[in-house]
Structure 1
Amino acid sequence: MKDQPPQPLDIVPVPVQPPPVSIDTGHHFATTAKEGSKDDLIKWAKMVAQKLKFTIIVRRSGNDEDKSRKPFFVLECERSGKYVPPKKKLKAESTGTRKCGCPFRLRETLLVNEMTKNLVPPRNIISTLKERDPENTMSSKQCYNARYRYKAKMRASMSEMQHMFKHLSDSKYFFKYRSIVDEGGEYLQDIFFAHPRSLSLFNSFPTVLVMDSAYKTNKYNMPLFEIVGFTSTERTYNVGFAWLTNEKEDNFIWALQQLRSLVRNEGSLPKVILTDRDTALMNVVGQVFPTSAAMVCRVHVENYVGSKIKELVKVRQGEEVKQEIVWDFIPDTSAYTQWIRVMSFLRLLEQHL
């Protein structure tokens, strides 16, 4: 008897429950209309839900009689959440639930989230809420807590730095960064970023640039190095920004090298670069842009000269000396007289430095 070939086994398909259909209906409840009372607002929300073929309920509400707490209420789908069995044992025929994990939930913090997304400061958020509802008792702490929860939800499992890199990448920013590695791990050292529109403007109007650092812009106390350009119509535009760990020559060289990499035509390098009186920055401009003239910004010159004038000039009690005192009288004189007065003042200033 010949061997029979193996017969295939009967395969019984296992029934798989299809995933629930999820439809986001949140935009139907976004409105700028203001209702007269809480009951009117609940009635409006239930009417909108009824048109969308589902039912919402008041999940939780605050005590209106307790003046120490801000009144609130939370609306959600009647099928929201999961079924929680009672402690006592029920008969089999009496069990059942409508809960299916519906994620719909409507909260009053929607406006706070939208304004936070649009970079509105907390004080302006609170003032806007109080203008819309004079009875609103939101405190600054509650506003900050709502903003924190919203930002944490947007970041999900990402760190703040990873979240920033994601936004820069999604918005097609040009960005570069460098880090340092030691025994404790890897740490961000410097980061440079520029908007796509800024790249086009920089290559069209690269003649004059202004560079300066701003402070107290972040909780890490990193100086924000800002680069500004000028168009042919004397309008300013932001070329790029850099967060630097230190204002040393090495940090500035790296930031300027990233700026140099944005130039598409080597024949269109900046002709003049204005800086503050930062010696490290002025020293490295010539290394990265050898054909550019590094000059001190007039605003910084006025501030420096004005501060020295207050020390040199004796002021009577109650009389103020303006920083523009040197520049006010120059346009009213001839060129030769201007030169004589400026040179005399500089000699006097040099003697007291």
Structure 2
Amino acid sequence: MDMEVGLITKRSDEVEMIYMEKLMNFVHQHELVEEDYGTHFTTDEVFPSREDLLEWVRRVAYRLGFVIVIIRSDIANGKQGRKTYVLLGKPIGKGQGWVLKVICGTHNHDLYDTLVGHPYAGRLKANEHSMLVDMTKSMVKPSSILRTLKENNEDNMTTIKQVYNARYSYKRSVRGPRTELQQLMMLLDHDNYLHWSTCHESSNIVSDIFWTHPDAVKLLNAFNIVFLMDTTYKTNKYRLPLLEIVGVTCTGLSFSAGFAFLSSEKEKNFIWALQKFRGSLLTSHVGPEVIVCDRDLALMNAINIVFPKARNLLCRFHINKNVKAKCKMLVDSVEAWEVVMDSWRTIIDCTDIAQFDEFVKSFETICSPWPLLVEYVKNTWIIPHKEKFVKCWTDSLMHLGNTTSNRVESAHWSLKRILQNSMGDLCSCWDAIKDVIILQHNEIKASFEMSLHVIGHTFNVQLYKMLVSFVSKHVLILIAEEFDRVNDVGF
């Protein structure tokens, strides 16, 4: 309680009397008086089971402002302590039900205004705990779990901290005595994932892990022309980068071909992961024709070493983004920005090698007031990497329209949407990846069936008669677009 004590500078009987009167009033106001609540629990109802009886008693107690706990009966040994209710439930006969008898119903302290925050009142019931486990498996946010619990039970007193604790206890019970890494390996084995791991050179500590879904192996062997690779962050509390490799099906959908937790983004780590991807997953000795990634020099070097015959393309979207950011940094006029970026787009969209040098010289002339911008564009992009992003070189490759890393970026987004935060362990991350893969494969299977059995009016003509049900609908659309283009411009 808060009591304000003033400094008494002049002692007198009158002052002391006033002070004592205020003190006695405070004591009387907060005096604890016993009250009998037994009548609220008096009932002639016969309950079908012990659980039904307890549920009814707890519901009544909640309305009164306290909770009922099951403890041993008081033995009246004279020891100081809180007097509790004594309720006795007993069966009235074999299979005939349960009745309630109140022996003592007095309470010797004030009742609480609310039970929110009291640990016992917030305990989860069996059905609520089962609901929490199911929602945790489905990667539902703790806040959404709590909201669902309260929507299903208006008397629920559970707090968000208790939800977090229950989730943690469940995950610990699933893991048992195993370490986190042992649990991850067990999960990979249980679901028949193909996986490999490597250790640090000077110890037996696992440094990198690579794995892929068994169905993804079938997909990447069937569709091994183009792959996209990129690392993402903020997927686990250990801050391990996650390398994801994405492929493209004949129906135009993306699939996750492989994942790897890496201890660092050094060239040797990427080489190890790509070697596992190449040697253990690809049935052909040719390997992919095109690999798209960002300008990660370590990853690019690893691609050239592991897949020397594959053409490595760089993401045009991120190149444009970087050049635009540099332009805004060095060019002080908004009108000049547009002129510079138009000239840059002319370079990367050049379709004739003979005109490429001319477009570069034009860009240099326009950007002559800003030599640092010209130096950045030439030394960072044009001289070392022009064959990896300029159309006159990339259009000669079978990249199937993949000139950016958008597919793998989209895969990262899908994963992080399920992950919710970056503080989970490796097993939580794997659970999210597993859910993403299940959704991916379900959508891919549906697209295959649609290509086999659903024929659009556009393709129900003699021209496509030999292709329908043998070529995917996505490819038929591309053929139709190309046919229309030929009709417009001629052969």
1:219 aligns to what?
Answer: 237
The Cα shift of 1:139 comes to: 3.2
Pair 1:117-2:137 in alignment: yes
Q: Is the 8 A contact 1:199 1:262 kept in 2?
A: no
Rounded to whole Å, the distance in 2 between the matches of 1:174 and 1:206 is 18
Question: Can you give the 5+ residue segments of structure 1 that lack an aligned partner in the other structure?
Answer: 1-42, 76-83, 89-104
Partner of residue 25, structure 1: none
| Residues 133-148 of structure 1: pairs in structure 2 closer than 5 A | 133=153, 136=156, 138-148=158-168
Matched, 1:230 2:248: yes
Aligned 8 A contact 1:272 1:293 in 2: yes
Q: Check 1:326–1:146 CA distance in 2 against 1; reply closer, same or farther (3 A cut).
A: farther
Partner residue, 1:64: 62
- One-letter amino acid of the counterpart of residue 288, structure 1: V
SS of the aligned residue for 2:238 comes to coil
TM-score, normalised via structure 2 length: 0.47
1:307 is the counterpart of 2:307: no
Match 1:165 to one of 178, 185, 199: 185
CA distance in 2 between partners of 1:251 and 1:72 (Å): 57
Q: Deviations over 1:224-280 (max 9, x none)?
A: 011111112221110010000000011001000110123443344101111111111
Q: Secondary structure at the residue paired with 1:220?
A: coil
Who wins on radius of gyration, i.e. which is larger?
2
Change (3 A) 1:198 1:64: same
Q: Which residue of 1 aligns with 2:305?
A: 287
1:261 pairs with 2:279: yes
Q: Which amino acid aligns with 2:313?
A: M
Counterpart contact for 1:74–1:107, Cα < 8 Å: no
Q: Distance in 2 between matches of 1:308 and 1:116?
A: 45
Say if 1:174 and 1:137 are closer, same or farther in 2 by CA, change over 3 A. Answer: same
Determine if contact 2:220/2:282 at 8 Å carries over to the other structure. no
CA distance in 1, matches of 2:345, 2:146: 48
Are residue 351 (structure 1) and residue 371 (structure 2) matched? no
Q: Indicate whether 1:273 and 2:271 are aligned.
A: no
CA distance in 2, matches of 1:118, 1:236: 22
Confirm whether residue 200 of structure 1 aligns to residue 210 of structure 2.
no
State the TM-score, normalizing by the size of structure 1: 0.64
Higher-helix-fraction structure: 2
C-alpha distance in structure 1 between counterparts of 2:139 and 2:329, whole Å: 42
Q: How many Å separate the matches in 1 of 2:363 and 2:69?
A: 71
> More deviation in 262-271 or 134-143?
134-143
Total equivalences in the alignment: 274
Which structure has more relative contact order (CA 8 Å, sep 6+)? It is 2
Deviation at 1:138, TM superposition (A): 3.8
Contact 1:176–1:192 (Cα < 8 Å) also in 2: yes
Structure 2, unpaired ranges of 5+: 1-44, 77-124, 368-372, 378-491
What is the root-mean-square deviation of aligned Cα atoms in Å? 4.2
Residues 54-95 of structure 1 deviation map (CA, whole Å, 9 limit, x = unaligned): 97774996962697xxx98999xxxxxxxx9x999xxxxxxx
Distance 1:56 1:215, change over 3 A: same
Using the TM superposition, give the Cα deviation of residue 220 of structure 1 relative to its aligned residue in structure 2, in angstroms. 0.7
Query: Which residue identity is paired with 1:350?
Result: V
The answer to whether the 8 Å contact 1:72/1:108 transfers is no
Amino acid paired to 1:276:
D
Deviations 1:75-116 (A, max 9, x none): 9xxxxxxxx9x999xxxxxxxxxxxxxxxx825222111111
Tell me the percent identity: 35
